[in-house]
Amino acid sequence: MCVPTITPRTPSSSSASPVATIVAVRQRVTETSTEGATELTAAIRSPPPRRILRRVFVTFEGIDGSGKTTQAELLAEALRADGREVISTREPGGTELGERVRSLVLQGPDLSAWAEAALFAAARAQLVEEVIGPALQRGADVVCDRYLDSSLAYQGIARGLGVDEVLELSVRVTGGLFPDRTFVVLLDAVEAERRRVGGPDRIERENLSFHREVDRAYREVAALFPDRIVLLDGSRSPDELAKEVRDELRALA
């Protein structure tokens, strides 16, 4: 895991500033930790020895219609077939609060960019506290359809709030919990729109240029976290992508 902590903590007054912490996350600093550095930054500077993971936390990302949900389902099925306990969940959702937030942000009225980001963060905080954290603590695998990278791409970049600002919010509400691997399924926005099933939700109703901006945003986010994020070609068959995902996870050590 990038950061093993799963219970949100409030940094002490001597901790590094939030902006400095986020810069440290993005740049993967390697210098020796100084007194007062946050646990999050220190963990990234001094990662634990690589080993075969007893369990994995995997997330899937991409624009709506890219096929990310299918890949999340296929991975969960494959892990269960190996006899592992697997928790499948989604964002926003996975808890009573999260499902209410999902209904509000996808089917409700127009929202300001920060109101949208704050609602996603609230649902994420509850999901980590109620579902993801306990599952990882007991040794279960977790497969999540969307997680914090969605906020970085949609609100941080496409909505213009800033990657650092949105990342800081997610780090605080999740206690710095990052996935072991994040798979971003890339697909042309026109093709993704063609694949969508059912009536469009509030975000899906955004114009084509917005969805193209989100696609570009995911590529930018992937460049910030190259050791964690794997890009997948969504034009390939679901079975081909599923095999690539499983091969990548088997290489975790």
pLDDT of residue 187 exceeding 90: yes
pLDDT digits (tens, 9 = 90+) for 82-115: 999 999 999 999 999 999 999 999 999 999 999 9
Q: What is the mean pLDDT of the chain?
A: 84
CA distance 99 to 213: 26
pLDDT digits (tens, 9 = 90+) for 226-242: 999 999 999 999 999 99
pLDDT attached to residue 28: 42
pLDDT of residue 214 exceeding 80: yes
Domain with CATH 3.40.50.300 in the chain: 53-250
pLDDT attached to residue 201: 85
pLDDT digits (tens, 9 = 90+) for 45-87: 444 434 335 799 999 999 999 999 999 999 999 999 999 999 9
* Predicted model pTM: 0.80
Q: Quote the CATH superfamily of domain 53-250.
A: P-loop containing nucleotide triphosphate hydrolases (3.40.50.300)
Q: What is the pLDDT averaged over residues 155-167? A: 97
pLDDT attached to residue 220: 97
